[in-house]
Structure 1
């Protein structure tokens, strides 16, 4: 089974439409787990009840670009509930599917691999770190290296990252959870999740696959996906999802496609 961890913080109608979009293009063997990262503790609960989606009880308010603990909270919730799954996928509120075939794509691309990510970079020298969040990690490295047990760390892009359950169990089993919770509470490193999970996966021997160039074109940080690009993506069977969808009109157009 594929578990899709969905992080959102506002606009319940958009959340409902996104859940239905996920189900439309992934009708088999998919479980959605919703994480409420907003200030309203009731946000999404009624939607989850109506749409038969699991609501993560470990949800808590998260600040933009400092949502690093989201994936960890979902991982441990799934373990605590003893939910069986094969893959865990990182979804955010601005990801939408445009074509079917993601399950088959995973089965093909992840044979022999533990992770599927957009990029994979190794940071080895604080003096040559060009990415600002990596520079922030190096500044706090004396504390974080006790988690990584390494002299270097990796980074990726979180949206649509996929991890096998097997590597997740190794990651969770080897963590000093009290130490990690303290670091979550006292660190303000932007994009922490884009360094934490991939580095832990590599620490425990995870083999990582990179998305193909065609997919990566529609999986980016900025600019926002346009309707013209959506139409192109939908016309190509090798493109199953797009990110980021920021415009409500574009989001509604995707949702209303037959």
Structure 2
């Protein structure tokens, strides 16, 4: 009967007693069960991870029945034969009811003997374990490979000692059926002990095991836990716990601004890192969480931000479920916040003040969205909703149908809790996962807020729907314009090109490089009163030497580096300005400067050869911009 069996043994060496026992155990199976296939899962370095070792060994198994045995147990081969006769009627067998611990001296004597069954042991070297509890499923498990795979194998998020066996047994029982115990005895060999108290990951293991306990008996919840592993490999859960328990954990658990930004990401790790740094700089008192909508399980690793563990691949236009799954996870983690705000990965802040803006605007409402309105009949996303009207009319009234732009939706905590009411949450999640309506993130939450009687409003600034829009991508000149006019805070969409000039500009604004590097006495523009002048970002000239513009009082002056790398004044070319000048290269390669005028307008100067022309007055038309017309194209060509 053992011809159908693969013996799966996980092992991670301590280069000591455990290693000696393991060598004896390997020879034992070779001697007493030669018909069985022996599959070893050996981990040589890193944190102890039995689950990973089990999965590694199981991948090597070629037979239909797995005997998963710890590397420190010995038993009568007849236990396996007996269990195999019962296995057709049970999804998994625990083939023992008693464990006897062999002490150190007995173990040391045993490993020096020839592996065989039965083996001789002295009564005073062996003691019956009293800690076995109802439902225990560790040490030795016999399970068809198909049931092992249905349970997703062992959960590798359990690090160190404890929790992985219980989690696996709960998954098997929920997915495949109740485990069955049969009478038998196994022997446990001595080695230095471990426990939750000595495991630095014990708390995280316990919290993860509690999630399995809460999912026990509910196949849908259990499958959700199992699916988490596929898209959140290695230590996502552990990383989250470590972040929440770190010195900065209070910012995640209870952000001072009461804002939690939920960011859906799907590519380009460096850009994700840029966005995190951007939010931290301009909204320093807010929490950030990520949702990994890609197949790349490493995309969010090492970024110092918690990641929603139920993240999974999302298709473009069908992403609204990430709101709900992230909200659900935040509640599980008991994160304290008042405002849930979604940001896309191609958005960036350009100035501070958004936290105060949200706190102010949300005093009298529970939901705020960009361009919130009652939609027209020809709205393309509205037409998508009507394609699947039988599904959506069960959740909210579709006449009239409200709409918003997706990015920057602000949802209050009371509304979040209402959305997560168990029955409503399950109906909503099923609808979001099964719908064939594209773009539901611009419809579903605003209309549910209305349906549930929560107050709603649109972003109040007329420029909000200019700065947060679908297309076109922002130009550098637009960013400078909005910075100069102090129109708003968040810009979308920003090009995902890592070295785009806009990203360089915003990065410099964050780091303050221009003001820190160029304000000491060695420079010719220095003034003792630093409030009297401001300096643009330097840009490379035609010879790769730097150029910049300084506002001194109300005038603008151009400076250029010489070949000796000293700075030389070329000319003062503008009067009647205030604030910080922004120097940039136009689309044709010429230099341009934008600065606010004392009369409140914004001026543009262009240099042709060595001559500066201007000011041209910056203007922007909202409707033209949304339709994709070129911003000040006549001035920039």
> Normalising by structure 1, what TM-score?
0.90
Do 2:369 and 2:405's aligned partners in 1 also have CA atoms closer than 8 Å? Answer: yes
Alignment pair present for 1:146 and 2:146: no
Q: What stretches of structure 1 of length at least 5 have no aligned partner? A: none
Do 2:371 and 2:404's aligned partners in 1 also have CA atoms closer than 8 Å? Answer: yes
Report 1:31-70 matches (<5 A).
31-47=287-303, 51=304, 53-70=305-322
RMSD: 1.7
Whole-Å separation in 2 of the counterparts to 1:100 and 1:174 = 37
In the alignment, what sits opposite 1:22?
279
Cα offset for 1:121? 2.8
More helix by percentage = 1
> Normalising by structure 2, what TM-score?
0.38
In the alignment, what sits opposite 2:325?
73
Which of 455, 460, 471 pairs up with 1:207? 455
Do 1:119 and 1:210's aligned partners in 2 also have CA atoms closer than 8 Å? Answer: yes
Task: Label 1:161 to 1:214 Cα distance change in 2 as closer, same or farther (>3 A).
Answer: same
Is the deviation greater in 168-177 or in 87-96?
168-177
In the alignment, what sits opposite 2:356?
104
Do 2:397 and 2:447's aligned partners in 1 also have CA atoms closer than 8 Å? Answer: no
Whole-Å separation in 2 of the counterparts to 1:256 and 1:86 = 31
In the alignment, what sits opposite 2:627?
none
SS at match of 1:213: coil
Do 1:171 and 1:204's aligned partners in 2 also have CA atoms closer than 8 Å? Answer: no
Is the deviation greater in 30-39 or in 204-213?
204-213
1:44-67 per-residue CA deviation (whole Å, 9 max, x = no partner) reads 1222xxx3x111111110111211
Which of 458, 464, 471 pairs up with 1:222? 471
Cα offset for 1:191? 0.9
In the alignment, what sits opposite 1:119?
371
1:164-223 per-residue CA deviation (whole Å, 9 max, x = no partner) reads 111111222275333333323321211111111111111111211211102222111111
Task: Label 1:185 to 1:110 Cα distance change in 2 as closer, same or farther (>3 A).
Answer: closer
Is the deviation greater in 153-162 or in 16-25?
153-162
Please tell me whether Structure 1 or Structure 2 has the larger radius of gyration of its CA atoms: 2
Report 1:181-192 matches (<5 A).
181-192=429-440
More strand by percentage = 2
Which of 225, 234, 245 pairs up with 2:494? 245
Whole-Å separation in 1 of the counterparts to 2:465 and 2:277 = 24
1:86-108 per-residue CA deviation (whole Å, 9 max, x = no partner) reads 11111010110010001111122
Task: Label 1:6 to 1:113 Cα distance change in 2 as closer, same or farther (>3 A).
Answer: same
Is the deviation greater in 174-183 or in 35-44?
174-183
Cα offset for 1:253? 2.8
Q: What stretches of structure 2 of length at least 5 have no aligned partner? A: 1-257, 513-637
